[in-house]
Amino acid sequence: MRQKNFAVIRHSAPITILAIESSCDDTSAAVVRDGQVLSNCVANQEAHRQYGGVVPEVASRAHLANIVPVVDLALFQAGIDKKSITAVAFTRGPGLMGSLVVGTSFAKAFALSHGLPLIEVNHMQAHVLAHFTESPRPEFPFLCLTVSGGHTQIVRVVDYSDMEVIGETLDDAAGEAFDKAGKMMGLGYPAGPEIDRLARSGNPRFEFPEPAVPGLNFSFSGLKTSILYFLRDQTALKPGFVDENLADICASVQQSIVRILLKKLRKAAKQTGIWQIALAGGVSANSGLRTALGVLGEKEGWQTYIPAFDYCTDNAAMIGIAGYYKYLRGEFCGQDAAPYARGFTG
Ligand code: KG4
Ligand code: ZN
């Protein structure tokens, strides 16, 4: 059930969106007023570290414990009262089902009890729209390389709602490749930020083969296997190999992942003739990727955009921004909106 044209009711008052994000292991709430982020609070779930990855059941329980305090904090930091909220936006999918159910149910209950319209947001589209949290903002059309723990996509963005996935991973996501490689080296979860940190003092002197994937799609499973065999063989020759060469291995792994990503991005820019290029998703926090995009962009004559660090990883501000543009279009959903685990639209 879709409900349209709620927007006409309050068109002269400020549009104040309470946004909820709970798709994976971060519980986040934000307040966005007239397209400006007033607050953006994130509770990270430390509980997963001991398991070396996100445990869905643990994530859902932590969302339940976190959601009310995080929303209260977001309202407090924004300096607004519940009565001045105009609509509630929430991540409907994709993500972990149990986690999504917590945010969706909270959003529905909040909207129902305050008589507010509900806006469902697609998490991957919101990562793209994270570019509209601050200036400078990309001009349409632009290409967005969205790289997270669960997704790797090249998206052709025509406007706030018209987006097409023109390339994506056939197996692991880029963030997953970082996390799995880190696990093989004995690093904690999530390993991406740790590899990034260690790579800064390393020399990328180890070469891993590049995958031969046609078109604009990606594959990281071959890289994962070659890292596994490399570490196994080197450790058999010298047991302390990983510890003694950790920074160089991290720099080499990071360089390989960045190369795979930028090769396809360059191809996509050539194919589409679009030179406005953006990065989004948790892996866009990676300093090697950010620097390499800057260098490539300069060489290719691209205009490049990278969101501020807080808007790269999962956050509710991007959900609020996506919700704001849906509000302007009068796109609301009913209380029967159920979460979905997969998909790019919604
Ligand atoms: O977008 P995100 O916060 O959550 C998902 O929707 O998946 O992305 C999380 C992913 C994890 O795989 C994490 O290791 C990776 O982003 N990540 C990084 C960095 N910061 C986060 N990977 C490489 N370098 C980083 N600095
Ligand atoms: Zn994400």
Q: What is the pLDDT of residues 144-170, one digit of tens each?
A: 999 999 899 999 999 999 999 999 999
Nearest-angstrom CA–CA distance, 225 and 256: 13
CB 283 within 8 A of CB 174: yes
The whole-number pLDDT of residue 10 equals 47
Q: Are strands 16-21 and 26-33 parallel, antiparallel or unpaired?
A: antiparallel
Closest C-alpha residue for ligand 1 atom 3 = 313
Angle between helix 192-199 and helix 246-272 axes, rounded to 10 deg: 110
Nearest-angstrom CA–CA distance, 223 and 177: 8
CB 130 within 8 A of CB 318: yes
The whole-number pLDDT of residue 344 equals 74
For residue 313, how far is its CA from the centre of ligand 2 (angstroms)?
6
Backbone dihedral region for residue 26 (phi beyond 0: left; psi -120 to 50: alpha; all else: beta)? beta
CB 91 within 8 A of CB 24: no
For residue 283, how far is its CA from the centre of ligand 1 (angstroms)?
4
Q: What is the pLDDT of residues 94-132, one digit of tens each?
A: 999 999 999 999 999 999 999 999 999 999 999 999 999
Q: What residue ranges line ligand 1, CB within 6 angstroms? A: 24, 148-150, 175, 178-179, 190-193, 196, 281-283, 285-286, 313-314
In angstroms, what is the C-alpha Rg of the chain? 21
Which mutation among 27, 127, 178 tests ligand 1's pocket best, with the greatest number of atoms within 8 A of CB?
Answer: 178
For residue 66, how far is its CA from the centre of ligand 2 (angstroms)?
18
* 48-62, 254-268, 313-327: range with lowest mean pLDDT: 48-62
**C-beta neighbour count of 219 within 10 angstroms:** 18
Q: How many CA atoms lie within 13 A of 16 on its CB side?
A: 16
Backbone dihedral region for residue 52 (phi beyond 0: left; psi -120 to 50: alpha; all else: beta)? left
Structure tokens belonging to residue 21: 């994000």
Q: How many CA atoms lie within 13 A of 8 on its CB side?
A: 3
Token look-up 């947001």 returns 121
Nearest-angstrom CA–CA distance, 44 and 22: 11
- How would DSSP label each residue in 45-111? -GGGGGGTS--HHHHHHHHHHHHHHHHHHHHHHHT--GGG--EEEEEEESS-HHHHHHHHHHHHHHH
Structure tokens belonging to residue 34: 């007239």
Phi first, then psi: what are they for 16, rounded to 5°? -115, 115
Q: Which atom of ligand 1 is nearest to the CA of 254?
A: 23
Angle between helix 174-184 and helix 246-272 axes, rounded to 10 deg: 170
Strand partners, 37: 32
Q: What is the pLDDT of residues 306-345, one digit of tens each?
A: 999 899 999 999 999 999 999 999 999 999 999 999 887 6
Domain residue extents for the chain? 2-129+312-328, 136-307
Q: Which CATH topology does 136-307 take?
A: Nucleotidyltransferase; domain 5 (3.30.420)
Environment of ion ligand 2 (residues, CB < 5 A): 148, 314
Phi first, then psi: what are they for 213, rounded to 5°? -110, 125
Q: CATH number of the domain at 2-129+312-328, please?
A: 3.30.420.40
The whole-number pLDDT of residue 8 equals 44
**C-beta neighbour count of 161 within 10 angstroms:** 14
Handedness of CA 175, 177, 180, 184 (dihedral sign): negative
For residue 184, how far is its CA from the centre of ligand 2 (angstroms)?
23
Residues 6+ apart with CB under 8 A from 9: none
pTM: 0.92
Among 319, 45, 291, 284, CA closest to 175 = 284
C-alpha angle with apex 131: 309 to 95, nearest 5 degrees?
75
Among 31, 24, 154, 20, CA closest to 82 = 31
Q: What is the pLDDT of residues 283-301, one digit of tens each?
A: 999 999 999 999 999 999 9
For residue 282, how far is its CA from the centre of ligand 2 (angstroms)?
6
Q: Is residue 2 over pLDDT 50? A: no
Q: What is the pLDDT of residues 234-246, one digit of tens each?
A: 999 999 999 999 9
Domains 2-129+312-328 and 136-307 share a fold: yes
Closest C-alpha residue for ligand 1 atom 1 = 282
The whole-number pLDDT of residue 26 equals 92
Q: Which atom of ligand 1 is nearest to the CA of 151?
A: 7
Q: What is the pLDDT of residues 176-206, one digit of tens each?
A: 999 999 999 999 989 999 999 999 999 999 9
Nearest-angstrom CA–CA distance, 206 and 227: 10
Handedness of CA 172, 175, 178, 182 (dihedral sign): negative
Q: What is the pLDDT of residues 4-52, one digit of tens each?
A: 444 444 457 899 999 999 999 899 999 999 999 999 999 987 777 777 7
Closest C-alpha residue for ligand 1 atom 14 = 192
Which mutation among 124, 180, 283 tests ligand 1's pocket best, with the greatest number of atoms within 8 A of CB?
Answer: 283
Structure tokens belonging to residue 98: 């149990």
For residue 232, how far is its CA from the centre of ligand 2 (angstroms)?
32
